[in-house]
Amino acid sequence: MSSQAIASIQTLFQSRLATLEHLLKTAQAHFSDESFLQKRIVADMLPFGTQIAFTCNQPRNFALWSEGKPADNLDPEVTSLAHAYEHIANTQSMLIDISVADEKLAEITRIDLGDNLYLELSGGDYIHEFLIPNFYFHLVTAYDILRMAGVPIGKRDYMMHLVPFVKQG
């Protein structure tokens, strides 16, 4: 993985965080209050607000990892729009100046999973096998919660990072 690949991951995280912000704005316009932050697909799943925090945790921890700092997850209790937007904006700003040396990608990274469980992955695997899949899981879950709650969104809203490339034939 090269510095160009790292820049590509930065871009991926930044553009999908823009998608998350777009989904949040669309939901805000659809609902009359902030209670939608507590909506969930099923009772044992975490609510929309928590999905925002968990989506942000992946690029946030990528930025911290690239600086040699330990993972530091956001508070999962997102109970206001201001808090949700703050998580997204702060995460976006953390992604701006990432630089990762090639040696860092080979370094073993320990990921604590709770309940005395952990993973050990190379830096490259940490990015591709842990951060990115978790990022998409929580982004899709946030999208699904909003769809289930009746927010008028569709695939175009989820895939908005491709809109600049759409051509008319």
Give the CATH number, domain containing residue 149: 1.20.120.450
What mean pLDDT value characterizes the chain?
93
Query: At residue 48, does pLDDT exceed 70?
Result: yes
Percent of the chain exceeding pLDDT 70 equals: 98
The answer to whether residue 22 sits within a structural domain is: yes
* Residue 169 burial (CB count, 10 A): 2
The answer to whether residue 64 sits within a structural domain is: yes
Q: How far is CA 107 from CA 13, 121, 127, in A?
A: 22, 8, 12
Query: At residue 3, does pLDDT exceed 80?
Result: no
The answer to whether residue 56 sits within a structural domain is: yes
* 20, 145 Cβ separation under 8 angstroms: no
* 146, 23 Cβ separation under 8 angstroms: yes
* Measured distance CA(90)–CA(63) in Å, rounded: 11
pLDDT number for residue 103: 80
pLDDT band at 40 (very low <50, low <70, confident <90, very high): very high
The number of domains in the chain is: 1
Q: Which domain range does residue 120 map to?
A: 3-100+108-162
The answer to whether residue 90 sits within a structural domain is: yes
Least confidently predicted of 70-84, 88-102, 124-138, 148-162: 88-102
The answer to whether residue 121 sits within a structural domain is: yes
The answer to whether residue 168 sits within a structural domain is: no
The answer to whether residue 167 sits within a structural domain is: no
* 53, 74 Cβ separation under 8 angstroms: yes
